[in-house]
Amino acid sequence: MDQQHVHIHADVRLDCKGLACPMPIVRTRKAIADMDGGQVLEVLATDKGSLADLKAWSSRAGHQYLGTLTVDEVYRHYIRKQSTAEAAHPGGSPIPVVSNAELQARRLADPEMVIIDVREEAEFAFGHVRGAISIPLGQLEDRLGELDRERELMLLCRTGTRSEMACRLLVDKGFKRVHNVVPGMSEWDGDTDALTEGQGGLKA
């Protein structure tokens, strides 16, 4: 795949081209501190060491390293800032839960099953369940018209937290047949597709 023509949405772009370690990390730390939780940062770097450094730093800092594209010898790193809202468990009635294994079994019986991935566009680009539809959580309420209220809907994210929030939103809007897929992409071992073949974990 031609990575030069792959477009991945990022909320903030940080230019670290020409800088050597540790400056890309120093600037990334400062930039991400000013961002809102859940936003995606794109870091442009030319230092090869940034591949390992930014991935390791993201893990230590509690953020989500999505992956890296290489275009014209420039590394385009994508990091999602952890959202404090995701740590809070929403109240309300229990949402039906479907395991990863159960989802795979149901897909065999119903290949047309509707699977909605509520992660950010950048997360989806680096790897998603084959056939899933991308509707980021922040866009879900505005895109309800795209969903069939009569169909069974399987919602997933990285760990099941955002998808539970999405399920609750749909229930509040009158959807009856919604299920939260847990643990989601963090442990998904079934078929996946990606919009890019860049470096990084497809299950991020």
167 noted as active-site residue? no
Q: What angle do CA 138, 139, 140 make, to 5 degrees?
A: 100
Which candidate in 16, 21, 157, 167 is catalytic?
A: 21
Q: How many CB atoms lie within 10 A of CB 3?
A: 14
Name residue, tokens 């770097």. 45
Q: Is residue 204 within a helix (H) or strand (E), and if so which, with residue range?
A: none
The Cβ of residue 46 has, within 10 Å, a number of other Cβ atoms equal to 15
Name residue 88's amino acid: A
Catalytic amino acids?
21
